[in-house]
């Protein structure tokens, strides 16, 4: 029977192989449910502005129910062995991989990113499930040499308890599994609140988790729109049954959640905004730097927190780098994400578009030179032309704030010290990129940059095997790699006495 809350408009081109993946309800305690109030909110395709789904607009009581379901499921889940949990996670991984085309189509419909990029993200998302299915078995403790002959001391690692995961719209699947997979593998249960712009990918992943055999209540998904998100967030942060808040999103919301979580002293894992520097030294291979610049700036239309935000180019190679970069940028294809050849989709919403407009106007008013783009795209809606600005100075908004759009501002520098000073002159510290063929400089600059991820002669660094997170106001904690499961574990020392 067709579901009246799901529209087929987003999937005209290619119907889904498994229509069941498109859910129109939230998941609580293993049951697909509406909001108690009956309220709904719209999910919109950013490429067409058409409504593709109406989902439960949940509030405080629904959230309490989800937390209670997670708490109830917790005692059985944590009592299972890591191997048993790993087997279920591995089944989930297999299903995600098997349904990658459907999951990518859903993501493109709600997020806008080109289909090929969406498929890449689905596999990236799957990789976290695979990795943590194994890593859960390796949450080793310690045996500590005793400080007294009648005692022995061991250190255990135990699941922290109910986790609230709040995820953003720019990676609608990747951020879900980067949080849920380690949490579940560690023995925690989860209440997931996906972003209001992109909840369908999260629900599809949850449907596959159900199909994999995850017990009811182990993974719950609360959907909510812009009106009730603060209420839901408040409940997640203040409810004493929740032991950890794991959030990826803006620094402003991250600070707000951390303040709220302080009341019950919840652990927090925060991956927040960034303003990644991209430094091109005069000894760099410029073709490598140009290809990496395009990748690191324009993936997801520039809407990721690890995207390069500020380009610093050494004066002697500035003009040639700019010329080559503009040539490459002109090859990008702005089109709806489900059209063949699309490499740049729409921005997520009007606010995002207005921010990009404001940044580009400010830069031009303060003397920046437009080398490419610089305006809304002829396709209308929230499409924006890939833009390159030259003669940018660090007082402009494009350097002071996160643009979160397809805009590359090029700043000139003379010395290595000057580049490092400008690169670090930000409250953020998530990622940094630089290009050099000098080995000593590579080490020096890598050590000097104040950020959690540094890529040398590369435009990306994402993998399930590595820790990602921020220095300074870019966050707390790390996700990915063997470090990524630590945030879901409590450490307990056990002292055994009376051993005479
Ligand atoms: P952006 O500005 O890029 O949209 P946000 O930080 O607003 O990033 O959003 C990231 C996530 O945080 C989304 O899931 C969003 O719904 C959620 N969010 C926004 N405000 C709150 C809040 N007050 N409490 C809890 N979650 C929130």
Mean pLDDT of 64-85: 98
Query: Minimal CA–CA distance to 313: which of 283, 346, 341, 355?
Result: 283
The model's confidence at residue 10, banded by pLDDT at 50, 70 and 90, is low
Select which of 110, 117, 271, 416 is catalytic: 271
Q: What percent of the chain lies above the pLDDT cut of 70?
A: 99
Q: Residues 342-394: pLDDT tens digits?
A: 999 999 999 999 999 999 999 999 999 999 999 999 999 999 999 999 999 99
Per-position DSSP letters for 477-489, written without gaps between them: S-BSTGGGGGGGE
Active site residue 307: no
Ligand 1 pocket: which of 59, 165, 166 to mutate (most atoms <8 Å of CB)? 166
State the alpha helices, DSSP H only, in 136-198: 174-186
Q: Residues 214-230: pLDDT tens digits?
A: 999 999 999 999 999 99
pLDDT for the residue numbered 189: 99
CB of 167 sitting under 6 A from ligand 1? yes
Check residue 410 and report its DSSP letter: E
pLDDT for the residue numbered 13: 66
pLDDT for the residue numbered 3: 74
CA of residue 330 to ligand 1 center, whole Å:
33
Q: C-alpha dihedral over 357, 359, 362, 364, to 10 degrees?
A: -80
Contact between 170 and 237 (Cβ < 8 Å): no
CB of 307 sitting under 6 A from ligand 1? no
Per-position DSSP letters for 3-56, written without gaps between them: -TTB-SGGGSSS--S-GGGS--SEEETTEEE--TT--EEEEE-TTT--EEEEEE
Would the pLDDT of 203 be above 80? yes
The model's confidence at residue 2, banded by pLDDT at 50, 70 and 90, is low
Active site residue 305: yes
Mean pLDDT of 322-328: 98
82: left (phi over 0), alpha (psi -120 to 50) or beta: alpha
Q: What percent of the chain lies above the pLDDT cut of 90?
A: 97
Residue nearest to atom 22 of ligand 1 (CA): 230
pLDDT for the residue numbered 12: 65
- Written as six digits, the tokens of 301 are 């239309």
Contact between 133 and 93 (Cβ < 8 Å): yes
Mean pLDDT of 406-417: 98
Sort strands 276-280 and 431-435 into parallel, antiparallel or unpaired.
parallel
Mean pLDDT of 283-302: 97
The model's confidence at residue 1, banded by pLDDT at 50, 70 and 90, is very low
State which ligand 1 atom lies nearest to the alpha carbon of 252: 6
Would the pLDDT of 53 be above 90? yes
pTM for the full predicted model: 0.97
User: Rounded to an integer, what distance in angstroms lies between the CA atom of residue 233 and that of residue 313?
Assistant: 42
């Amino acid at each position: 029977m067709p579901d009246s809350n799901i529209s087929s408009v987003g999937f005209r081109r290619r119907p889904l192989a498994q229509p069941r993946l498109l859910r129109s309800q939230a998941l609580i305690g293993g049951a697909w449910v509406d909001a108690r109030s009956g309220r709904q909110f719209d999910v919109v395709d950013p490429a067409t502005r058409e409504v593709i789904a109406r989902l439960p607009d949940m509030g405080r009581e629904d959230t309490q129910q989800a937390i209670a379901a997670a708490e109830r499921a917790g005692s059985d889940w944590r009592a299972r062995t890591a191997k048993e949990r790993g087997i279920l996670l591995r089944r989930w991984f297999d299903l995600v991989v098997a349904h990658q085309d459907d999951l990518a189509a859903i993501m493109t419909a709600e997020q806008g990113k080109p289909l090929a990029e969406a498929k890449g993200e689905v596999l990236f998302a799957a990789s976290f499930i695979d990795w943590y299915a194994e890593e859960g078995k390796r949450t080793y403790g310690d045996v500590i040499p005793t400080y007294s002959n009648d005692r022995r001391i061991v250190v255990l690692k135990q699941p922290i308890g109910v986790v609230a995961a709040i995820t953003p719209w720019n990676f609608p699947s990747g951020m879900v599994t980067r949080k849920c997979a380690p949490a579940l593998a560690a023995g925690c249960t989860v209440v997931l609140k996906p972003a209001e712009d992109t909840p369908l990918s999260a629900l599809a992943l949850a449907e596959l988790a159900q199909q994999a055999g995850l017990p009811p209540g182990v993974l719950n998904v609360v959907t909510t729109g812009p009106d009730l998100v603060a209420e839901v967030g408040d409940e997640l942060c203040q409810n004493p049954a929740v032991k950890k808040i794991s959030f990826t999103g803006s620094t402003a919301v991250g600070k707000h959640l951390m303040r709220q979580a302080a009341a019950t002293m919840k652990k927090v894992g925060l991956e927040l905004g960034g303003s990644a520097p991209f430094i091109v030294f005069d000894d760099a291979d410029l073709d490598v730097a140009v290809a990496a610049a395009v990748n690191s700036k324009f993936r997801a239309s520039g809407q990721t927190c690890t995207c390069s935000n500020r380009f610093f180019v050494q004066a002697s190679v500035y003009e040639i780098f700019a010329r080559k970069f503009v040539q490459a940028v002109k090859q990008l294809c702005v089109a709806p994400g489900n059209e063949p050849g699309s490499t740049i989709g729409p921005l997520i919403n009007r606010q995002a578009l207005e921010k990009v407009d404001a940044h580009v106007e400010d830069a031009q008013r303060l003397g920046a030179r437009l080398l490419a783009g610089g305006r809304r795209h002829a396709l209308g809606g929230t499409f924006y032309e890939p833009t390159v600005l030259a003669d940018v100075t660090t007082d402009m908004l494009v350097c002071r704030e996160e643009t979160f759009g397809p805009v590359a501002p090029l700043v000139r520098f003379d010395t290595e010290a000057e580049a490092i000073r400008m690169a670090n002159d930000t409250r953020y510290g998530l990622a940094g990129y630089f290009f050099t063929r000098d080995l000593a400089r590579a080490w020096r600059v890598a050590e000097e940059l104040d950020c959690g991820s540094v890529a040398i002669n590369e435009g990306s660094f994402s993998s399930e095997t590595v820790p990602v997170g921020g220095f300074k106001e870019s966050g707390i904690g790390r996700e990915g790699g063997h470090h990524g499961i630590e945030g879901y574990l409590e450490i307990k020392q056990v002292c055994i006495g009376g051993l005479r």
